[in-house]
């Protein structure tokens, strides 16, 4: 099915199942510990041997010698995989660094060996008996030092690396009110709770790989490519993913080494990346240095807006696309954006939840707050004044839906924004200094081709099969709701099977495209199934109504199950997209409001209240969508207050590479969170009329927190995270 | 602030930055310590008896096997999760003799004769424990990986409050703690949820505790 | 983790004797730090002596009005003891400020005193570290040192003692009781228990080989108001940047000890005389001669301001 004209009324619009806050259908499995994750497949890969990964001790250079003899002789060892004995490996299309290093070392903790043993304890012990000699090379580890002369990279996922409209320099220079400020965001780690993990089993030349991966079809291709086996000989299964946030978009070393280890050991092998390896072995959100210049008229109209960003990556990598939202969020005739990319020999930078917008808005939305302050304007009013209903870089291109002002105004009202003190440091509760901050949220909507197969059996049970994943997003449930709505059955008459590469390829989970894209694919397949059902019943498909387990057409009614009485009916289709996303700018919008308390003595920050208002198309399941948003808000608090991979610029690695060193929010950091979804349908996105929301919830949160801190205590911090050491120098004395 | 400790690398420090090529050896970690160099021919094993979810279990384990791996790899009770294996996330939380612990930081051989309750022992998909049901109702999870640990902790937290054990946020540590949201949040802080379901988890626990919002 | 033999000890004296005669032996109680380090082969005992079954899990009143806390009393039980909550509030507050509920259920009084630094370079076996591997160098100096020590450091080590409980015990002038391999017992003032790194940072404390902690005694209660203010980047489940343990009397006199500042709980008795004059005067004496790095210089003003917050609460 092709979606190339805006949606009209369709069965989804009945909203009998879609749009309801249905409990997750996988909830009972997850809450009882029965949902099997990739390392837990005693059921299908019994007797798997254990792999343990050895990471490089240097960031850059060469292995000059590797002595495996002691490790090989250690009790229980079955095999040791290294680059020397692994055979030819080809780097995956989605990888920047090799997943098995040696002799060249590209980054710290790059995998250089997998020890396979009868038990986990034996594999772990043997790995430390491998002696490795290295020649350490000179690496580039300091973004600040490498930013001078960093070039504009070729166009990529985030569009061109530079955009110019009007005369930015001239307009900025002549603007009566100006801001020119520099912001930095640090490297972030996805830190999902389930480590990257895989269980591999060879069945002859067929590889069965249970792996924790967001993108099954990409993964299947890259496993085949890396190992040099035909794609059809690789089957990936990822029914449950213990968090990804972009860190599991790509095949990582656990999958490749499990496959190689299983081949070497001649039996199934499972590998989970040890937690202390994850930060340096896998990908991370790259640090940015951002320069933002905004020029306005005296009454606050933006006349010039410039946003430049510098980030680094390994050779062949890409930039953090931190300026993307600035091309679309606010009006202004004269515009400049640029992304520059330095070469760094740190671990591979790549996508993490809301890549681009997350760090970009952390900077831009502080800049907007600073500008409002300079102008003496309310931050909401200043943003509303500079709203645009068209793409500011291409005025003939409207937004499909844009309710940014509504989000801000409703949020302001619900949050009690009017009580915010204009002057910082004005509200005290004992030792706590109280402040409020807000930020706009923005994230583009992306659609991807997505397929599904739908089966109807003689009992009226509808089974959906797609390689789509549920990474905590609620996919199982919204797909069940979609199929239930389309086929006119209750949710409990739908079985959803996900994450298997033998199912039709889906859009996968990433870039907040999963929900709309995968359900649209299910819509297409159900449309095909409806046609087959009506044909089987001898009904006219054009006026058939599927409702309450029955099919009605004209004055005829039959049980849905009747259509499959003589055998299962199977239909398969996919949704593909025309150029609506080119004609219309499809984006999601929101507003974040935060109240913080800052300890006047210690500068400790506590977030006291949080509200997000989101306009993101049709909300397919308000319960799971709300969870996506509160989860993203929580990650936003982390990025505001604590998250930073600390770079050792001498040795080139992230020093705090475990969950004690890399702090993410805990229960005590997070207050009750409120989320409001505006009533919105977007007929340009798909027949579901939905958009993404899982990343929108993160966009702007960091800045809202930083702005609230400024409002509380008067200290403006432009370098994230806003830790107390950065606040203390600006705090009033405390005696 | 260039105080003595901050000046580059000490004499006993190593190669300063930008040292160009330098030979480095990653020795087997044990080479740094005074102890027998050769690994033991046969790793010691010991028989143990556990009571897991009310059922006796006899197994022979490597002395190095953690309680977590004994549950997951020997008894195939994979509901208890390994998130970090270093006591930094709480996904491995189980109850031993009625108290919650991180099963990753405990050796199985240290638990001979102990009673262990895991997530599998609380309820089944068909017959959920009230805490499990409350997590489903309030969407107190997303990816599900930290969830068994959160639920085991939550069940134990209610007992700990009932038993009068004080916490970091208790106003008067000499008094009995109250069942407030802030007490729940503080006591649950050893269970990290990167999906960020905290707000919903607190609501689930509150419901399971059978009280209205404070 | 290296393979090791495992034995359950039958009495404290037997445990000490066994430890002394067994190469590479270590005691294990809660195991929450030791196993963590063994997994990374930072600790590589060839033999573990499990002391958990020893009868050292009681809290008893002493004849001079204090408390004797058995070495195996779990953190949770010590913090929840009615006498501790009533008379040694600073100790309860310090304990519940540390780690998580799960860890406190397992961690013991003796083990908590022995927990090793959380310096990230100590924790990464690829990095030089004089504490982990004497003579290998210190990567923390000139590296990422935000969490590390600001006073009492050496050219060999800038690690911090990470615990909370011991800060309160130092404040309370606790005494560590031990039994040695020859069966003799010893009492070590807590002030003399933890060491500064000097040239031998691999030694965290003054215990001798095979010596087993049996108890910690607290002198009779001090009265006054008790505080433990721990400052960290997140609200819970994190090691201290700075912590302040204090007991303040009605007249403004009192005691103060700091965590997160040094290789041991940091208490300067001479500085306490300045407490009635305020935080700045006290901190000036307590931290004279501090040697912070660029990354952790903030700890000095932070410690002073945290103390100021405590003193302000004490007045209120």
Contacts with A54 from chain C: Cβ below 8 Å: none
Q: Does A653 touch chain B (CB under 8 A)?
A: no
Dihedral sign (CA B19, B22, B26, B27)? negative
Catalytic residue among A146, A485, A680, A695: A695
- Residues 154-213 (B) with a CB less than 8 A from some CB of C: 156-157, 160, 163-168, 170, 173-174, 185-187, 189-192
Cα dihedral B31/B35/B37/B40 (nearest 10): -130
pLDDT score of B22: 62
pLDDT score of B28: 53
User: How much of chain A, in percent, has pLDDT values that exceed 90?
Assistant: 99
- Residues 95-114 (B) with a CB less than 8 A from some CB of C: 99-102, 105-107, 109-110
Residue B211 has pLDDT above 70, yes or no: no
Strand pairing of A394-398 and A587-599? unpaired
Mutate to test the interface with C, among A108, A725, A732, A733 (most CBs of C within 10 A): A725
Q: Do A121 and C1 touch (CB under 8 A)?
A: yes
CA–CA separation, A590 and A444 (whole Å)? 12
For A587: left if phi > 0, alpha if psi spans -120 to 50, otherwise beta; the answer is: beta
Contacts with B198 from chain A: Cβ below 8 Å: 630, 634, 665-667, 670
pLDDT score of B38: 56
- Bridge partners of residue A676, in order along the sequence: A613
CA–CA separation, C259 and C229 (whole Å)? 10
The nearest CA of chain C is from the CA of A381 a distance in Å of: 33
Q: For residue B8, give both structure tokens.
A: 């580059």
Contact A369, A437 (CB under 8 A): yes
- Bridge partners of residue A495, in order along the sequence: A463
Output phi, psi for C7, to 5 deg: -135, 140
- Give the helix, strand, coil percentages of chain C, each rounded to 5: 30, 20, 50
pLDDT score of B41: 72
C132: nearest CA in chain B? B32
* Closest Cβ opposite residue C141 in set B10, B85, B107: B10
Residue A582 has pLDDT above 70, yes or no: yes
Using DSSP's 3-state secondary structure scheme, residue A13 falls into helix
**Look-up: residue for tokens 């905590």?**
A472
Q: How far does Cα B113 stand from its chain's mean position?
A: 21
The nearest CA of chain A is from the CA of B70 a distance in Å of: 11
- Residues 169-228 (C) with a CB less than 8 A from some CB of A: none
Residue B13 has pLDDT above 70, yes or no: no
Whether the complex's predicted ipTM is more than 0.90 is answered with yes
Q: For residue B101, give both structure tokens.
A: 């612990």
- Residues 581-640 (A) with a CB less than 8 A from some CB of C: 599, 601-604, 606
Residue B40 has pLDDT above 80, yes or no: no
**Averaged over A693-702, what is the pLDDT?**
98
pLDDT in tens, A418-449: 999 999 999 999 999 999 999 999 999 999 99
Is the bond preceding A559 in cis, omega lying within 30 degrees of 0? no
CA–CA separation, C176 and B30 (whole Å)? 31
The three-state (H, E, C) secondary structure of A43-62, written as one string: CCCCCCEEEEEEECCCCCEE
Contacts with B16 from chain A: Cβ below 8 Å: 650
Q: For residue A152, give both structure tokens.
A: 């504009």
**Look-up: residue for tokens 């475990």?**
A658
- Residues 247-266 (A) with a CB less than 8 A from some CB of B: none
B144: nearest CA in chain A? A30
Which has the closest alpha carbon to A38: A186, A181, A252, A229? A252
CA–CA separation, B204 and A22 (whole Å)? 16
The nearest CA of chain B is from the CA of C299 a distance in Å of: 13
Output the average pLDDT for chain A: 98
Cα dihedral A58/A61/A65/A71 (nearest 10): 30
pLDDT score of B213: 40
Residue C141 Cα distances to A42, A514, B52, C233, C265, angstroms:
47, 46, 48, 22, 21
pLDDT in tens, A627-677: 999 999 999 999 999 999 999 999 999 999 999 999 999 999 999 999 999
**Averaged over C137-156, what is the pLDDT?**
98
- pLDDT tier, A157 (very low <50, low <70, confident <90, very high otherwise): confident
Neighbouring chains of B at 3+ CB pairs under 8 Å are A, C
Is A695 tagged catalytic?
yes
Distance spanning both ends of chain A, measured CA to CA: 70
CA–CA separation, C282 and A316 (whole Å)? 56
- Give the helix, strand, coil percentages of chain A, each rounded to 5: 30, 30, 45
Q: Which helix (H) or strand (E) holds A725?
A: helix A724-727
CA–CA separation, A38 and C258 (whole Å)? 45
pLDDT score of B24: 74
- pLDDT tier, B42 (very low <50, low <70, confident <90, very high otherwise): confident
**Look-up: residue for tokens 């050219």?**
C155
**Averaged over C113-118, what is the pLDDT?**
98
Q: Residue A64, CB half-sphere, CA atoms under 13 Å: how many?
A: 13
Show the beta-strand stretches assigned E in A190-313: 197-203, 206-211, 234-237, 269-272, 288-296, 302-313
CA–CA separation, B178 and A272 (whole Å)? 40
Contact C188, C254 (CB under 8 A): no
**Look-up: residue for tokens 């081949």?**
A263
pLDDT in tens, A226-257: 999 999 999 999 999 999 999 999 999 999 99
Contacts with B147 from chain A: Cβ below 8 Å: 30-31, 33
Contacts with C140 from chain A: Cβ below 8 Å: none
The three-state (H, E, C) secondary structure of C177-240, written as one string: EEECCCCCEEEEEHHHCECCCCCCCCCCECCCCCCEEEEEEECCCCCCEEEEEEECCCCCCCCC
Q: Which helix (H) or strand (E) holds B3?
A: none
**Averaged over A109-130, what is the pLDDT?**
98
Q: Given strand C59-61, what is the order of strands in its sheet?
A: C59-61, C67-70, C212-218, C175-179, C185-189
**Look-up: residue for tokens 């094993």?**
B45
Contacts with C228 from chain A: Cβ below 8 Å: none
Using DSSP's 3-state secondary structure scheme, residue A132 falls into strand
The nearest CA of chain B is from the CA of C7 a distance in Å of: 10
CA–CA separation, C247 and C225 (whole Å)? 5
Contacts with B13 from chain C: Cβ below 8 Å: 128, 137-139, 141-142
**Averaged over A48-74, what is the pLDDT?**
98
- Residues 39-98 (C) with a CB less than 8 A from some CB of A: 39-41
Contact A645, A352 (CB under 8 A): no
Dihedral sign (CA C39, C45, C48, C51)? negative
* Closest Cβ opposite residue A601 in set C127, C233, C305: C305
Q: Do A138 and B16 touch (CB under 8 A)?
A: no
Residue C199 has pLDDT above 50, yes or no: yes
pLDDT score of A719: 98
pLDDT in tens, A163-192: 999 999 999 999 999 999 999 999 999 999
**Averaged over A100-124, what is the pLDDT?**
98
Cα-based angle C255, C256, C257 (whole degrees, multiple of 5): 135
Using DSSP's 3-state secondary structure scheme, residue A566 falls into coil
Q: Do A669 and C143 touch (CB under 8 A)?
A: no
Using DSSP's 3-state secondary structure scheme, residue A265 falls into helix
Mutate to test the interface with B, among A39, A69, A661, A667 (most CBs of B within 10 A): A667
Contacts with C236 from chain A: Cβ below 8 Å: 666-669
**Averaged over C128-149, what is the pLDDT?**
98
Residue B4 has pLDDT above 70, yes or no: no
pLDDT in tens, A334-373: 999 999 999 999 999 999 999 999 999 999 999 999 999 9
**Averaged over A25-30, what is the pLDDT?**
98
Q: Residue B45, CB half-sphere, CA atoms under 13 Å: how many?
A: 12
pLDDT score of B15: 36
């Amino acid at each position: 099915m092709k979606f190339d004209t805006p949606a009209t009324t369709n069965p989804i619009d009945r909203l009998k199942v879609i749009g309801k806050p249905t409990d997750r259908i996988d909830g009972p499995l997850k809450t009882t510990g029965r949902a099997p994750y990739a390392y837990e497949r005693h059921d299908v890969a019994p007797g798997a041997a254990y792999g343990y990964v050895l990471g490089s001790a240097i960031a850059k250079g060469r292995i000059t010698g590797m002595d495996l003899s002691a490790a090989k002789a250690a009790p229980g060892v079955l095999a040791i995989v290294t680059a020397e004995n692994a055979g030819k490996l080809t780097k995956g299309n989605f990888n920047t660094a090799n997943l098995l290093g040696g002799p060249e070392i590209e980054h710290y903790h790059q995998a250089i060996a997998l020890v396979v043993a009868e038990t986990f304890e034996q594999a772990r012990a043997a790995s430390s008996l491998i002696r490795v000699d290295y020649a350490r090379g000179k690496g580039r580890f300091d973004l600040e030092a490498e930013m001078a002369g960093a070039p504009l990279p070729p166009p990529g996922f985030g569009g061109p690396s530079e955009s110019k409209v009007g005369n930015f320099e001239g307009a900025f220079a002549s603007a009566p009110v100006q801001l020119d400020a520099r912001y930095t965001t640090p490297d972030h780690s996805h830190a999902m709770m389930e480590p990257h993990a895989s269980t591999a089993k060879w069945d002859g030349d067929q590889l069965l790989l249970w792996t924790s991966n967001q993108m099954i079809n990409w993964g299947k291709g890259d496993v085949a490519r890396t190992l040099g086996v035909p794609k059809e000989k690789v089957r990936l299964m990822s029914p449950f993913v213990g968090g990804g946030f972009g860190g599991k978009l790509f095949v990582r070393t656990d999958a490749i080494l499990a496959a190689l280890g299983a081949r070497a050991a001649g039996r199934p092998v499972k590998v989970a990346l040890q937690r202390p390896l994850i930060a340096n072995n896998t990908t991370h959100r790259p640090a940015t240095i951002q320069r933002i210049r905004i020029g306005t008229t005296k009454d606050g109209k933006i006349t010039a807006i410039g946003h430049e960003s510098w980030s680094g990556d390994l050779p062949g990598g890409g930039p953090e696309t931190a300026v993307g939202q600035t091309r679309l969020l606010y009006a202004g005739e004269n515009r400049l954006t640029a992304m520059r990319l330095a070469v760094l020999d740190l671990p591979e930078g790549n996508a993490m939840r809301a890549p681009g917008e997350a760090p970009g808005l952390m900077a831009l939305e502080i800049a907007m707050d600073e500008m409002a302050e300079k102008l003496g304007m309310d931050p909401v009013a200043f943003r509303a004044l500079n709203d645009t209903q068209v793409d500011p870089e291409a005025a003939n291109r409207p937004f499909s839906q844009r309710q940014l002002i509504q989000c801000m105004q409703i949020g302001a009202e619900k949050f009690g924004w009017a009580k915010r003190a204009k002057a910082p440091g004005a509200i005290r509760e004992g030792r706590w200094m109280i402040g409020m901050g807000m930020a706009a949220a923005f994230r583009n909507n992306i659609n991807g081709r997505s397929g599904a197969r739908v089966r109807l059996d003689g009992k009226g049970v509808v089974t959906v099969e797609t390689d789509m994943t549920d990474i905590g997003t609620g996919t199982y449930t919204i797909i069940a709701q979609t199929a239930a709505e389309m086929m006119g059955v209750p949710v409990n008459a739908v079985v959803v099977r996900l994450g298997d590469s033998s199912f039709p390829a889906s859009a996968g989970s990433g870039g907040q495209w999963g929900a709309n894209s995968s359900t649209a694919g299910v819509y297409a397949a159900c449309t095909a199934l409806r046609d087959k059902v009506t044909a089987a019943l001898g009904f006219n498909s054009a006026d058939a109504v599927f409702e309450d387990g029955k099919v009605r057409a004209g004055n005829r009614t039959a049980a849905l199950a009747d259509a499959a009485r003589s055998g299962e009916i199977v239909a398969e289709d996919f949704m593909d997209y025309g150029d609506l996303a080119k004609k219309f700018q499809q984006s999601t919008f929101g507003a974040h409001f935060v109240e913080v308390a800052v300890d006047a003595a210690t500068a400790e920050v506590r977030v006291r209240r949080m509200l997000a208002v989101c306009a993101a198309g049709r909300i397919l399941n308000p319960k799971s969508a709300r969870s996506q948003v509160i989860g993203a808000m929580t990650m936003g608090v982390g990025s505001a207050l604590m998250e930073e991979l600390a770079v050792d610029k001498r040795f080139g690695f992230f020093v705090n590479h475990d969950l004690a060193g890399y702090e993410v929010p805990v229960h005590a950091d997070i207050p009750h969170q409120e989320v409001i979804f505006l009533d919105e349908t977007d007929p340009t996105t798909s027949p579901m009329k939905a958009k993404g929301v899982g990343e929108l919830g993160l966009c702007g949160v960091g800045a809202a927190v930083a702005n609230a801190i400024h409002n509380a205590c008067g200290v403006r911090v432009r370098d994230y995270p806003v830790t107390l050491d950065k606040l203390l120098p600006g705090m009033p004395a405390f005696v | 602030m260039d105080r003595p400790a901050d000046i580059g690398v000490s004499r006993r420090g190593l190669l300063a930055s930008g040292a160009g090529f330098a030979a480095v050896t990653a020795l087997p970690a044990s080479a740094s310590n005074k102890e027998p160099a050769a690994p033991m021919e046969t790793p010691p094993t010991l028989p143990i008896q556990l009571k897991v979810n009310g059922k006796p279990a006899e197994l022979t384990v490597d002395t190095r096997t953690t309680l977590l791996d004994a549950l997951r790899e020997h008894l195939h009770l994979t509901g208890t999760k390994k998130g970090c294996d270093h006591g930094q996330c709480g996904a491995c939380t189980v109850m031993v003799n009625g108290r919650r612990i991180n099963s990753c930081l405990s050796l199985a051989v240290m638990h001979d004769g102990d009673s262990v309750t895991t997530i599998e022992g609380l309820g089944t998909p068909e017959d959920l424990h009230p805490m499990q049901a409350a997590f489903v109702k309030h969407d107190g999870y997303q990816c599900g990986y930290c969830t068994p640990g959160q639920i085991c902790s939550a069940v134990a937290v209610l007992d700990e409050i009932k038993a009068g054990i004080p916490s970091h946020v208790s106003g008067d540590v000499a008094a009995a703690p109250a069942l407030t949201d802030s007490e729940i949040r503080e006591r649950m802080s050893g269970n990290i949820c990167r999906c960020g379901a905290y707000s919903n988890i607190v609501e689930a626990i509150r419901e399971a505790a059978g009280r209205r919002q404070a | 983790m290296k393979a090791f033999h495992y034995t359950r000890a039958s009495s404290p004296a037997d445990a000490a004797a066994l430890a002394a005669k067994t190469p590479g032996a270590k005691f294990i109680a809660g195991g929450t730090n030791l196993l963590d380090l063994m997994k990374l082969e930072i600790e590589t005992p060839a033999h573990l002596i499990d002391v958990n079954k020893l009868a050292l899990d009681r809290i008893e009143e002493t004849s001079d009005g204090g408390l004797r806390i058995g070495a195996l009393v779990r953190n949770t039980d010590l913090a929840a003891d009615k006498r501790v909550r009533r008379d040694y509030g600073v100790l309860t507050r310090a304990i519940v400020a540390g780690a998580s509920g799960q860890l406190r259920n397992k961690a013991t009084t003796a083990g908590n005193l022995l927990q090793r630094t959380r310096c990230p370079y100590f924790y990464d076996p690829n990095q030089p570290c004089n504490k982990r591997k004497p003579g290998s160098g210190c990567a923390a100096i000139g590296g990422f040192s935000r969490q590390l020590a600001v006073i009492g450091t050496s050219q060999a080590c800038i690690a911090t003692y990470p615990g909370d409980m011991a800060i309160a015990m130092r404040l309370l002038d606790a005494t560590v009781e031990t039994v040695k391999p020859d069966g003799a017992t010893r009492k070590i003032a807590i002030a003399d228990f933890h060491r500064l790194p000097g040239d031998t940072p691999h030694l965290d404390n003054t215990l001798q080989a095979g010596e087993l902690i049996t108890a910690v005694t607290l002198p009779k209660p001090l009265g006054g108001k008790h505080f433990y203010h721990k400052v960290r980047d997140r609200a819970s489940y994190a090691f201290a940047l700075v912590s302040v343990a204090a007991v303040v009397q009605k007249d403004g006199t009192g005691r103060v000890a700091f965590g997160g500042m040094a290789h041991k709980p940091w208490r300067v008795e001479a500085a306490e005389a300045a407490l009635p004059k305020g935080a700045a005067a006290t901190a000036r004496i307590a931290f004279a001669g501090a040697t912070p790095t660029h990354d952790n210089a903030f700890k000095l003003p932070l410690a002073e301001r945290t103390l100021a917050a405590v003193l302000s609460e004490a007045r209120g």
